[in-house]
Amino acid sequence: MKKTISIMLVDDHKMVREGLRFLVEKQPDMKVVAEADCGNTAIKQVKHNNIDVVVMDISMGDMSGLEATKEILKHNPKIKVLILSMYADRRFVTEALNIGAQGYVLKDSAAEELLFAIRKVYEGEIFLSAKITEVVVKDYLSTKSILSTREREVLKYIAEGMATKEIASELCLSVKTVEAHRHQIMEKLDIHSVAELTKYAIREGISNV
């Protein structure tokens, strides 16, 4: 017999939780075992309930859904967290996945997509809404087109902490050319510190330092 998926709904709007509960409990393989209207309550509920999947609102009063997710997974790394958000922003998606969330679904998605996502993350798979996947791919492609291949190489070495002379030697370029590339990178990305360039390079997969 197929196991029933135990779900906790976390959203600071009661009407949203009621709608989600109604949707979920119509499914023969799902059951809502807990609810929370804020991050702190969600963290407490995890300690007192046997939960398989948390459907987590990203924006709440006391703490963000991402902060709550981090705390929940510290307590029990086996729980699967599915972020439910109105924001189709790649930065939120990237951060959610980086802290351990298994999926990211938009609030305007069809009910069928949410139910499909719950089942997928329960099975251990990563799930992103179709609209989110499109945004991530578009952003990735636009980033690749913003920087030339040489600029991406220079940025990689900057992120790795190499000095201008070292980069010049590594790429067989003059120091002046490397400085020009650095200036162009900063102008194109509108980033003007090495620390922020490093964060950007890691976030975009240009460097894994």
The answer to whether the beta carbons of residues 159 and 197 sit under 8 Å apart is yes
Say whether both 105 and 186 belong to one domain. Answer: no
> What CATH number is given to the structural domain containing 168?
1.10.10.10
pLDDT given for residue 204 in this prediction: 77
Band (183; pLDDT cuts 50, 70, 90): very high
Say whether both 59 and 151 belong to one domain. Answer: no
pLDDT in tens, 64-81: 999 999 999 999 999 999
The answer to whether residue 157 is domain-embedded is yes
The answer to whether residue 137 is domain-embedded is no
d(CA 117, CA 95): 18
Last residue of a domain, one of 95, 129, 163: 129
Band (42; pLDDT cuts 50, 70, 90): very high
Last residue of a domain, one of 129, 161, 193: 129
pLDDT given for residue 2 in this prediction: 67
Q: Which residue has the tokens 């959610």?
A: 96
Nearest to 92 by CA among 77, 105, 76: 105
Whether the predicted pLDDT of 143 surpasses 90: no
Domain count, the chain: 2
The answer to whether residue 59 is domain-embedded is yes
pLDDT given for residue 202 in this prediction: 81
Say whether both 117 and 156 belong to one domain. Answer: no
Neighbouring CB atoms inside 10 A of 181's CB total: 24
pLDDT in tens, 13-37: 999 999 999 999 999 999 999 999 9
Say whether both 118 and 158 belong to one domain. Answer: no
pLDDT given for residue 131 in this prediction: 80
Say whether both 82 and 13 belong to one domain. Answer: yes
pLDDT given for residue 62 in this prediction: 79
The answer to whether residue 141 is domain-embedded is no
The answer to whether residue 142 is domain-embedded is no
Full residue range of the structural domain in which residue 161 is found: 147-203
Distances, alpha carbon 53 to alpha carbons 80, 131, 145, in Å: 5, 22, 38
Say whether both 100 and 68 belong to one domain. Answer: yes
Say whether both 107 and 10 belong to one domain. Answer: yes
The answer to whether residue 39 is domain-embedded is yes
Band (195; pLDDT cuts 50, 70, 90): confident
The answer to whether the beta carbons of residues 46 and 76 sit under 8 Å apart is yes
Question: What residues contact 105, with CB distance under 8 A and at least 6 apart?
Answer: 82, 83, 84, 85, 113, 114, 117, 127, 128, 129, 132
pLDDT in tens, 102-116: 999 999 888 999 999
Band (164; pLDDT cuts 50, 70, 90): very high
